[in-house]
A and B are shown apart, each in its own frame.
Chain A
């Protein structure tokens, strides 16, 4: 099976100021393969480097060391981004656009032919429950509605790889339900999802495999099933209990 994403010895150091040679190491020597067709969870405590890893995968920032392959192509090939959908928790969409204008804008930038954008946008707005508010400026939307719109924009290019960074933040019960449905549809279609989340029940329910990052390093990688049936723990445990010793071990090393 090919990899949706492959990180090899990735390091990322953020410079503290333009004049300083010193910096903060956000990611340290991470090697990780995210198999195509999997629902992959990326877990870890705050400032573990999860979002930095995702940002490097999306070319939002450059790795200081190592190499990354995205959908089988080197990271500098931006064409592969046309096959990726990205949603993150706190995005500020242009407030002057309406929901349908926003989807047309992002769809256009994703390279979708003009004739296909409008029907796709219509269908997605229906899907995320915003079709009755499609002509309203986003400025009037609640946080949950903006999150739903964020999901629609991530799906506008019918991606092969969907990256969700804290996707259920601000969503109501129906919104969370919708998010889960979308992830399950990706699984059925054999597509890949990378889920960055602190909501462990969500990860446990949806993900096949996961990686745990602690202090910029991979502290665990494997299937969720294996982690929950860790031989040392004896019987099946919940994800929180399984992660606790990994977080502690990672923090000590």
Chain B
């Protein structure tokens, strides 16, 4: 056994090395490129003649756009007492114009919800998992790791350092993405919504949880293909389990047995919860006022079943277990 300071030193050196490695890859520039494109897009957003927010509880909240009013007929709109909005959002520095049924603040938050909640938290996390899947299998190749393993270091510390290095890299990219789009939207629209920054920890935790599973596959198989596609497949499986759980918790099937319900609950609590990460960001952004939530999640939340802290903690516990199993496997590996 090596002493704790030695383990901390090892983790520190491995994090530094992995971070250095990630900066030298094309991946760094690809991810940075996506951030730059998203930031430029946000700089080109303008919101004009937006409808003011309702300020009184009795104030009519039903609003429709001009195009909708023309489709329905102006007489009917008047008879129903609907408010017609005249707001416009221009994208691409004035290239495209869309009518908006929200005020400036909500319109910008809606965009932020799309950027972080839909694009980054789903597609972004999946791409990051695919792109970083090769870091560990390459590191575990006998030709790369034997000299490191002959140093007075613990194998678990090497693995943990490598894992944390990749997570730190993704955290940097998430911060640049969220920071860049937040700043650009602030400049172009005057809306500086601080809650948007909550996307950074949510994205990082979401990635870290599934990357732990990737590490487990990498140690077990030393194959980039298995680590990459196995993790993506697992993400979809967890998403399905998460969605089914919320669906059946709010609308149970009439003939569902207690055992099936128990298994579903056990699966939900044991596995990571990608839908809940989305829902958490939705809640932090206060998005129920301006966007349509995922129906399964909304029903689950409305009925008071959603426990954000427990959901995140149980996902993190899963990551911890996966890392512990991976570290134990790595400890036993013969080189």
Contacts and interface: CB of A to CB of B under 8 A. Distances in A.
Nearest to B333: A61
B17 interface: yes
B334 A109 contact: no
Interface of B: 1-2, 6, 9-10, 13, 16-17, 20-21, 24-25, 141, 143-144, 146-154, 332, 334-335
A105 B2 contact: no
Nearest to A83: B152
Nearest to B144: A92
Contacts of B334: 14, 55, 60-62
A91 B141 CA distance: 10
A190 interface: no
Contact of A108 (B2, B9, B149): B9
A111 to B, nearest CB: 6
Given A78-B2, A108-B9, A111-B152, A94 B21 contact: yes
Residue of B17, B144, B148, B151 ringed by the most chain A CB atoms within 10 A: B151
B144 A60 contact: no
A79 B151 contact: no
Contact of B335 (A55, A87, A94, A108): A55
Contacts of B332: 62
B335 A61 contact: yes
B165 to A, nearest CB: 12
Interface string A93-116: 110110001000110111100000
Closest 8 interchain pairs by CB? A96-B24, A61-B334, A81-B152, A82-B152, A92-B143, A60-B335, A58-B150, A86-B150
Given A60-B149, A109-B153, 14 more contacts: A55-B335, A60-B146, A60-B334, A60-B335, A61-B334, A79-B152, A86-B147, A88-B147, A91-B144, A92-B143, A96-B20, A96-B21, A96-B24, A108-B9
Contacts of A59: 149-150
A142 interface: no
Given A61-B335, A81-B151, A88 B20 contact: no
Contact of B150 (A79, A84, A92, A101): A84
B149 A94 contact: no
B122 to A, nearest CB: 30
Nearest to B161: A109
Residue of A80, A84, A91 ringed by the most chain B CB atoms within 10 A: A91
Contacts of B25: 96
B138 to A, nearest CB: 9
Contact of B151 (A76, A97, A109): A109
B147 A81 contact: no
A122 to B, nearest CB: 19
